[in-house]
Chain A
């Protein structure tokens, strides 16, 4: 019995190992389908129903242009997206084209999951490299040691400048004139404006602001999460702490921003749409929903600046279209990525449906700016891209683990359980540890 069960165990183990080692090769050489054959590629992303509709239109346009390719479009809710994607990669079913979150660029290039698009970008029939926002291309470039330079691994879906939107009617009612590029607000002026707008009780309560961009506050105050070399965590820097505390105090002390619990019961975007927030950050993708559902006039204005430096800063972020390195039809996949990214008709559709600022510089300058829909001050979006926007720090490192851990406990500061200083010192060591781990992994490859 002992011998028998020993052999059984051994054979089970052998079967097991065979199965598992077999599936650990995540990449096979990419092939090109012979011309003339109908090919099917998969494209995976997420989005609101409006956004999904826009994509379906663009995909149809692509299929018209490339009749021997059909695209299967899969949507997954954003919070589950990364998990799903990894599961699919692990089971050998990586979609041919998929949304790439820039934070993961370097680690996925390292894992060999993404196809190198540099040659395609330099020599293709769809677009001219110089007509794309340089910042957008930089986001998806890496040479293995850093981002922003090197080979291109994804094309931008959008550039997403994060602008400060405001409810015109609420501001007018409180007698406030919005800030302009020539007349920027300091934090104090912003707080004063928010206070003037905040009014009411219970279901009728209107808040001056919600979810103020921490990035804008931190950078404007001259601080950052990491140092310039991206190897040291700097969240205990007094300028950082001050900025974080100021943002938290908007709710805790000034009472002009919803509390943590209120934020969780009713999302800020929804609250804004219901006319109960005065000023709030939005990305271009919110235009569609606002056109659809907001029953008030709205516009965008420059972000306030820290009284200490007077410098403007905010982030722009986006998603990229990456192509799988194990795609069975790389050419079609890259064409799809390019089509969705820069094809003129597709971009125009995207723009007109209120999804994005076009990736193409000339279209932005010529058509987007003259579009006759809110926000009237849409030039602010462009100003962010050209003048004072920055790529988020966590997109520049090997992986964003160190940043995730910072965010996971952040609500303690926003709910007043800890001060910014206490929180920063409590989380710094863990962040540094994760950052170091990422750097080690990067150096090892």
Chain B
């Protein structure tokens, strides 16, 4: 009986205090969110504006770019550049080559990477830790050290000026992706595998029918990353190919730039760049949900 008043007054006090702080923190939260929104909006604008400017420039005719003040919406909108590029440089050929290389590396490379990741994550075989550590160390070999000898090797076996140096190594897997996938697969329950073994399933079957479907988000991330890296690769094609018929789209744009820069004809360069950038952006936008999710689930901690 004597407790009640005390409790209730304490309760009232506490409620009041919480009530006040609830209101304040709610306001603070809104303000915080508002500030965050503005900041992110401005930052995103800075990310996207250059691309909009790229498209805008590509729709102008050559001389129009040299005007003050800068025009965002060209008047008139001139699609001519997009038509012209195809005849000036072998852009079609470049796109074809890029597609061939990228598709082969992504498709076959994904198999190689996922198989290796599965083996490292779930299987036991001799020298497993040793091999793993060596591969880890190999990631630290700077590209520049092996660039020249790789070139010499390819020259010896006649692969220079073909697409092979761009395809074959990638088809055998990607070490960084293997680590990423291994991390993810280690998080998948091993009991599934034991159950399948008892049922008499072979390891190939276990890999393909059980773990691959479960690892979909990570595999999707792998596909996007490798696709991007391969499509955007400039160094490889630069060093290993010569003739225009073996160029990838990145080289084609680079050569376009080299020539037209003298002419300072930026609209046509921008048009070519837009074409080169579009496929990757499209794929990214389509698959970005998987991409983000997979990072979260795999618990990347490094």
B302 contacts chain A at the CB level, 8 A cutoff: no
Bound Cα distance from A19 to B88, whole angstroms: 39
Are A91 and B151 in contact, with the CB atoms below 8 A? yes
Contact B239 A77 (CB under 8 A): no
**Given known contacts A20-B156, A74-B242, what 20 new A-B pairs fall within 8 Å (CB)?**
A19-B152, A19-B153, A20-B149, A23-B155, A48-B259, A74-B243, A74-B244, A80-B255, A87-B151, A87-B242, A88-B160, A90-B155, A91-B151, A91-B154, A91-B155, A91-B160, A93-B161, A93-B242, A203-B66, A267-B262
Kindly identify, within residues 70 to 85 of chain A, every residue whose CB is under 8 Å from any CB belonging to chain B. Answer: 72, 74-80, 84
Contacts of A72 in B (CB 8 A): 243
Q: How many residues of A contact B (CB 8 A)?
A: 30
B68 (CB) vs chain A CBs: closest residue: A203
Cβ contacts under 8 Å, B153 to chain A: 19
Our pick among B67, B152, B259 for the contact of A23 (Cβ within 8 Å) is B152
List, in ascending order, chain A residues with CB within 8 A of B258's CB: 77-80
Interface string of A253-295 (1 = CB under 8 A from B): 0000000000001110110001000000000000000000000
- B-side contacts of A93, CB under 8 Å: 160-161, 242
Residues of A within 8 A of B67 (CB): 203
Flag if A75 contacts B156 (CB, 8 Å): no
Contacts of B259 in A (CB 8 A): 48-49, 77
Closest 10 CB pairs of A and B: A91-B155, A77-B258, A91-B160, A23-B156, A74-B243, A77-B255, A19-B156, A270-B264, A266-B264, A23-B155
A residues less than 8 Å from B244 (CB atoms): 74-75
Q: Which residue of A lies closest to B130 (CB)?
A: A1
For residue A202, which residues in chain B have a CB less than 8 angstroms away from its CB?
68
Asked if A16 is at the interface (CB within 8 A of a chain B CB), the reply is yes
| A91-113 to B contact mask, C-beta < 8 Å, 1/0 | 11100000000000000000000
Q: Given contacts A16-B149, A76-B242, A87-B242, is CB(A92)–CB(B155) below 8 Å? A: yes
Partner of B255, one of A19, A76, A269: A76
26 intermolecular pairs with C-beta atoms under 8 Å apart: A19-B153, A20-B152, A20-B156, A23-B155, A48-B259, A49-B259, A76-B242, A77-B255, A77-B258, A77-B259, A78-B258, A80-B255, A87-B151, A87-B160, A87-B239, A88-B242, A90-B151, A91-B160, A91-B161, A93-B161, A93-B242, A203-B67, A203-B68, A265-B264, A267-B261, A270-B262
Q: Is B2 an interface residue (CB 8 A)?
A: no
Residues of B within 8 A of A90 (CB): 151-152, 155
| Chain B residue at smallest Cβ distance from A88 | B242
Cα A79 to Cα B260 with chains together (Å): 12
User: How close is A232's CB to chain B, nearest CB, in angstroms?
Assistant: 35
Query: CB distance A266 to B66 under 8 Å?
Result: yes
B263 at the interface (CB under 8 A from A): yes
CB distance from A57 to the nearest CB of B (A): 16
The minimal Cβ–Cβ distance linking B239 to chain A, given in whole angstroms, is 7
| B156 pairs with A22, CB closer than 8 A | yes
Q: Which residues of B contact A (CB under 8 A)?
A: 63, 66-68, 88, 149, 151-156, 160-161, 239, 242-244, 255, 258-259, 261-264
Residues of B within 8 A of A49 (CB): 88, 259
Among B151, B161, B239, B263, the one with the most A-chain Cβ atoms within 10 Å of its Cβ is B263
> How many Å lie between the Cα of A68 and that of B255 in the bound state?
32
Q: Contacts of B151 on A, CB cut-off 8 Å?
A: 87, 90-91
Mark each residue of chain A from 9 to 40: 1 if its CB lies under 8 Å from any CB of chain B, else 0: 00000001001101100000000000000000
Question: Could you tell me the distance between the alpha carbons of A48 and B262 in the complex, rounded to whole angstroms?
Answer: 10
Asked if residues A269 and B160 are in contact (CB atoms below 8 Å), the reply is: no
The interface residues of chain A lying within 8 Å CB-to-CB of B243 are 72, 74
Cα A90 to Cα B240 in complex, Å, equals 12
Q: Which residues of B contact A269 (CB under 8 A)?
A: 262-263
- Which residues of chain A have C-beta atoms less than 8 A from B156's C-beta? 19-20, 22-23
CA distance A202 to B68 in the complex (A): 9
How many Å lie between the Cα of A274 and that of B152 in the bound state? 47
Q: How far is the CB of B237 from chain A (nearest CB, A)?
A: 12
Write out the residue numbers on chain A whose beta carbons fall within 8 Å of the beta carbon of B68: 202-203
C-alpha spacing A269/B261, complex, angstroms: 12
Q: In the complex, which residues of chain A have a beta carbon less than 8 angstroms from the beta carbon of B264?
A: 265-267, 270
A269: nearest chain-B partner, CB-CB: B262
B residues within 8 A CB of A80? 255, 258
Q: Output the least CB separation between A106 and chain B (Å).
A: 25
Chain B: CB-nearest residue to A270: B264
Complex Cα gap A75–B255 (Å): 10
A267 vs B264: C-alpha distance when bound (angstroms): 7
A48: min CB distance to chain B, Å: 7
Roughly how many angstroms separate A76 CA and B258 CA in the complex, as a whole number?
10
CB-CB contacts below 8 Å: A46-78 with B = 48-49, 72, 74-78
Chain B contacts for A270, CB-based, 8 A: 262-264
Residue of B nearest to A74 (CB): B243
Structural contact, B88 and A84, CB atoms closer than 8 A: no
Q: How far is the CA of A245 from the CA of B30 in the complex (A)?
A: 65
Q: 1/0 per residue A334-351: CB within 8 Å of B?
A: 000000000000000000
A12 smallest CB distance to B (angstroms): 11
Bound together, the chains give a CA A202 to CA B261 distance in angstroms of 21
How long is the Cα–Cα vector from A95 to B264 in the complex, in angstroms? 30
A93 to B157, CA, bound (A): 12
Which residues from A are CB-within-8-Å of B88?
49
Expressed in whole angstroms, the Cα–Cα distance for A432 and B162 within the complex equals: 42
Selected contact of A267 from candidates B63, B149, B160, B263, CB within 8 Å: B263
- Bound complex: CA of A362 vs CA of B243, how far in Å? 37
**Bound form: Cα–Cα A90–B263 in Å:** 32
CB neighbours of A76 from chain B (8 A):
242, 255
